[in-house]
Structure 1
Amino acid sequence: MNRFDPKTGLFSAITQQDGIRGNSVVGITSDNAGMIWFSTDKGLSKLDPRTKSIRNYELNSGLPSNDFLENAVFRKNNQLFFGSLNGAVQFNPDSIRDDTKPFPVYITKLNVLDKARPLTSNPVVLHHDENFLSFEFAALAYVLPEQNQYAYQLIGVDKNWVQNGNRHVANYTNLSPGSYTFQVKAANSDGIWSAKGASIQLVILPPWWATWWAYSIYALLVGGAIWGYIRFYTNRIRQQQELEFNRREAEQLKAVDELKTRFFSNITHELRTPLSLIISPVEKLLAGHQFDPSTNQTLALVQRNANQLLRLINQLLDLSKLEANRMTVSLMRGEVPQFVYQVVESFRQAAEQKGVALVYTAEEFPPEHLFDADKWEKILTNLLSNALKFTAQGGSIKVTLTSVLSPVIKEVSSVQINIADSGIGISPQSLPHIFDRFYQVDYSLTRAYEGTGIGLSLVKELVELLGGTISVDSQLGVGTTFMVTLPVQPLSASTNAPKMRLSANKHTTIEQLPASTSRLNSNQPPKHEQTPRLLIVEDNSELREFLTMELSAFYHVQNAANGEAGWKLAQEELPDIVISDLMMPKLDGYELTRLIKSHPDTDHIAVVILTAKAAHHSRIEGLQEGADDYLAKPFHLDELHLRLHNLITRQQRIRDQYRRQFTLPDSPTPLDITKDPFLRRVYELLDNHLDNPSLNVDWLADQLAMSRKTLYRKIHSLIQLAPNELIRQYRLRKAIDLLRAGRNVAETTYLVGFKSPSHFTIVFKEFYQKTPTEFITTNGKNT
């Protein structure tokens, strides 16, 4: 019997392997309950379509014969009729009731080595050589007992139940020593399985040489011999070298540590001098107010990045001091709530500019305490900088200051500062490592905020130096909370501590975003229609705005902050060139290049990869994705200008070559020599429908499955012609071939889709500077 599944459109066969007695189905019908009845050459069968279970009825079930006739089946009012070799069978399926009366199952006999073993104990304990077993069992179901079915399982040997049919014996041979449980269950003649089966436990003892204590003795003997030899050998070597090794190791560790610390300090100090020579002149130039806004913006960019580098160097110096144990605690007198307030306020302007709510709350404190203001400032600055960096526009940062009383003297002994943000959060697998030096969380959401990985490490080491604690709680997409506990001392502990003075305007801790100007507007219209269109895809906002400012004088520039936005703009605007970074959130440069070069709407766009990944394999991978050029950071602007100019020049030469195919009558047909697949598709469509005078731009866009705007941009990028101009010039170029082939002017007019010879003659002369008749005459003379 074959079953058809309308959802999948496939057939499945139901055969003897599924439980049918006969493999030849001769009649089939159904009853009111949805059961399927079918007659075979070995009795009747009932199939439940929902559970796929099958029940069989034979001579011993009351049938006159097991052999039924083909197509001898009839149904009326849920009365089923089947014809057999020994008369007709009539019954109502509703009158057939399954025997659901519970019945017990017993294990009646256990044979060990063909000898009966009494079942008086559970478990049954056997020797290692008594491993040939035979179980006999029976079900006390007396309605057609010959149709009772059995299934058994020896746990430890059988992974699944073994279906035994109506046989009530199970045999096992060569069982290994171990513990087993034999269980059996049965089904009566109606296929109802017993709710509770029978089971018996067996234990086959191992031989004495394979017992656990024997293996323990073997292991002890071997291990003792190996251990004795190793101990003898190592003791002899250790006695000779231990003192010398320890002495050399201590000297080497000390020398390496001193060398690392000295190099660390020297290189960072060497960097501070040129940075000072950069920052000071830039500040002087900015203070003079003698440059135009564009120049001031460039100088501000230099100043911000130089200050960021200086802060990084200061952090490295602090780490080197901590490693060399040269950083000490310097206590100062001050009001803790006011100090924390001034540090928080130094971030106020940057938070407002980014659209982040910055909230500070503090408890009432006694007037003054002793604490290390310099290290507190570094701790809070790093934590607030991180919070602002990873909190998007519309988010919030909450700073809470609470006091912790000493249980002994009932005075403030420490303060707890909680900095909670609603930023992107930290994944659970990265959370234990965020205080590790140079560790950075690396996934697409954090690439736009990439740093150095030393800020939080410095924070943790400074907190531990002060005798405090720091912990973090974070959830991805919800936010992060840093909980810092720092000790304070009462004024009586030191009367000579200096007074702490701090101005909130002293600290520039966050890079200010560049002010937007009309010159940097990525949506400004081009100065001329022929101005090359350029798309910059870069996740670093300052570099993106800098490139936009530098290139906007020569190109119509648009920009995007990530690969996904860049791909959308590339499809909408179809620029001539895309400049893309590699490491970007959402969609990296490799994926963006692959999408541009594989999509038929954008495959003509030149792609320049501009990235800090200068390794050879990175260049090869970028070029394999289809990039037209690869430029590594740091780059020179004149080189970038030259590479872009060369790409534009190459594209212009290709456009000129395509246009000359129409203007030069003696050149081959454009369809024969054009290599661009998109233009070939356009030419084939025009060639097949050239005699249609109603052929227009809308029809062509519909045939190419793209919008009218996209079609215009695509054709204009490839050949610098509007689609309607391309259609007209292709008609005229095709007319040249027809006239040269001997067609007259009237025939050619209608074959290339013009409505009248007079209009055709005017357009032809306007384009080729001669009439069709003059061309025929000239062509004939030349021939």
Structure 2
Amino acid sequence: MNAHNQKNKYAVIFICWLILCVNQTTARNINEDASAANVNKPAEHELLKTDSSYHHISYQYRDNYYGEPLKAIEYLQKKRVHFEYPTEQAYFTDQIKLIELFFKTEQYAQAENILGPLAIEFKNKLQFHPKLALVKAHLMLHNRNIDDFLETLQPYVSVYQKAGNESFNACYLFLLGAYEIRKNQFSNAFTHLTSGLENAKGLGITHLEIEIRNQLVQLFYYTQRYEKALNLNEEIIDIARANDDRYSETLALSNKMNLYYSRAVYLANSMPGEDVANNPIYRSYIKKSRQLQKQVYQLAKEIGAYRTMIKALILKQSHSFGDNNFQQAIIAGKEISEIARQFGFDYENAVASNNTAIAYRALGEYDKSIQALAVAEKSYLEMDNLQSLTWIYDDYARTYEESGNFEKALAYFKKFHDASMKFSQKTNNETLLELQEKYAANERSQEILRLTQKSALNTQQLETEKMGRWLLSVILMAVFLIALTLFHKRKRLKRLLKNEAALNQKITEANAAKQRFFANISHEFRTALTLSIGPLKKLIAEPNYSKNPFIESALENNLHMMTLINEVLHIEKIGAKTLPMQITKINLRMAINHCLNRFLLQFKEKRINICQHGFDESIYFYFDPSHLEKIVANILSNAAKYCLGDCTIELSVKVEQERINLEICDDGPGIDEAELPHIFERFYQGKSSSDQTLPGTGIGLSMVKELVELHQGSVKMCSQVGKGCCVTISFKRGKSHYPQQLIVDARSQHETTPRIAANDRKLPIPQNLKRHPTPLSRNAGHTNELLDNQHRKVILVVDDNPQIRLLIKSILQPEFHVVEADNGKQGLELAETIQPDLLITDVMMPLMNGFQLTEHLREHPQLSHLSIILLTALSETEQRVHGLVLGADDYITKPFDNEELKARVKGHLAQKQRLSKLLLKKYQSGLEKQQLSQTFEGQDSKRSKQLEKLIAKNLSQCEFDVEQMYTAMNMTRSSLYRYTQKHYGCSPKHLLKVRRLEIAYQMLTDLQGTISEVAYAVGYQSLSAFSRAFREHFNHPPTQVKQQYSNEPKVEV
């Protein structure tokens, strides 16, 4: 490469570096308190009257801060001299604006002249220091003196990041990102700049948004993502034009000019040895760069943006080098030097002088080239710019070499080499220093933390010792008086405690007796109602039932009796403060509609209209759903009861900041004003309730009030006779007024609710039992019954009430074989004997209750697999949860629905059947190959393999019999019988039975599921039938096999 091309490359490097010298602006003003300013200056309104030029400038500044920065500077300078500032805050704000405008117009020396005295003036005003630090750091970036940049901002980082200081934070992130670009930390710079951009956009600080975008353009340029840089630059131009900000527009056009030139240089360097000048893309980039250079030069000259004007001229020098028009490059250099000397742009003057030296050398004017290099060298030495000095020394060497002065050329080549080594060493040292500083800072932080902790510990120990001595003195002085006082009070306290303990014992015994009484009476009532409601429902459900109003009335009255019992029990629990609560998030609209659905038929019959107002889908609050239903249902029930017909019930909601108010109003007969104070008292009955035609219990509204107050709410009623009633319920919003243990997740509030299985299909009777009944004998009837029972599921019902057992038996037979026991102890003995498929038990029984029975069954090694349903009158959540925790599979409350009971029984059995089939498939998939190889080793009979595969596939199907076997094998019954006799020595039916029992034995030894699951998995419908067949075949029961192998340690191979 010749000297001309080499220097042209250096000129390009200078242009690319100059792209980074973009104006910076800081965030807007801070708002702090300040004291009064100089009182000798006239007020601003007086100055506006006397100075017409000031008046004109002030409005120009106010109307167009960005578009007329020079006029704004003139306005602020005059204001500084003539205006009486009311506070030092206002004065400080205007001076910061003036510095920012000097930044914008590239007058950095003037900005520094303002900043220095301002920092001294406000040295003792700490509230202004964070803003001054930002402006000082900004000036450091412009002056390229960033050694102390981080130290300047570090003391105020917490202030910048504090909530409420978003404008400070945006400006801080902008400056930090600009600093990191200069340190080549592009990843961190991008993160900080994008965060700052979001903040600036959110705050509407347009000039800061433009500056951050400018920095992102430089970042994309550095990382050679030119397309992104150009697109972002176009956005800056649009924003600047929209705000009539010609300075920002000119700067963005300057960036665009340099970006196109840089793309051209990048393309030229990537195509060595080719004719780049004729490349259409290269020529396009150069053309756009030339057009933009002229536009930028003209705009910068018009608005006085002299630094940007110099950039355009430097690029003009580079274009002149490309055109070999060195004279034009010299002329441009002289113009640059003149502007730079006038405005103090030393670095730009050095760059232009270096380019001028290259042009002189190309023209052979070596003395002038040396003179231009000397000017550039002097500036770089003053700035201690080692990298630029290496380029200068290289140019010296080449100029002397071309002029024939080889001695000086050699000397400067040595200087060039030494400077390059120093620059490389400096770069490495800076990197090492940064690492050392990070390590030292970390060490210092740890040491400071350790010393701080030690100091705090020492201080705490001193304070503790001091406090201890003081307390010891006080205690010693007070001990004598306290001892005397305690001596006299001790006897009295003992007497009071003894009386209180006796009283508490009596109260506890009374409460326990009352609770036992209510539990027992509830059990008896529910049992009686179950025996009444169950048969009535069964009678009404009969196909040949003819409508009988007396039977239906009896059923309705029984259900009403159950409602009354529940209300009395709830009132008692509220009074005893034992009513359970499960607080969850409720949608008010859905909850009210759910309650209304219960009364739709009644409202329709009485011609009552319902109107709802203000119910929004978004209204949620925390409440117990069951309690809310009782509250609303009681109020609606009263309204429906006393409204005679053609009435309207209005429900409305008003949402306040802390409460939700629900109003339920009707236009019925109303209530006398004298009765309103007593309407929520327990057992109080007004005149209407005393009427024989509208009887009441007097506990409904009392329960409403107590339930609402239990949730920290309130309820009130207003009424006028003949105009109706209005009940207002006020609910608290939020959940802070509830204890945390009462709040449950809405998704899990029904976890303890028993589930009704959907699959209740009746399993068919095996075909082989239909075709091959046992021979008749004198015990034929009993034998057939046993056989039938053998293939039906066995249900064990345990209840001390024989009528309940009879009712359940009538519901479940003939689909199931029902065995009865009248207490828990007898039920446990029967379960051990018959091994039922499912057990239904009452809770309250003599000898052994249902909870104890459940616990014994779950601990029993042979019966732990049984499905258990608890059937009881104890309907509270705690009791249901207790039963389920002990191991019950389901919990049904008396009085129960006949069909629901049957559905739950079928569901549990069907679920166990499905699990068993899944268990068998899983077991067979791992055992299939081994079984086939063991069974047919040495045989080549395809038919035997087909038969074994058929049996294994249908092993879990209880319907699979000999007929399906020979049909699937394409054989007749007799041919299949002869084949199995020949190859297996038994009948097909016996072969199927043996295979089932063998698989069952292997599953039990491998601990694959419970005994009942294994039985169902191999096609047995009854657990007792499986146990009997297993014992006959293996001479010991399945429980023995299960227990034997579960106790043996497993050995992994």
- TM above 0.5: no
TM-score normalised to structure 2 length: 0.23
Q: Larger % of helix: which?
A: 2
TM-score normalised over the length of structure 1: 0.30
Higher strand share goes to which structure?
Answer: 1
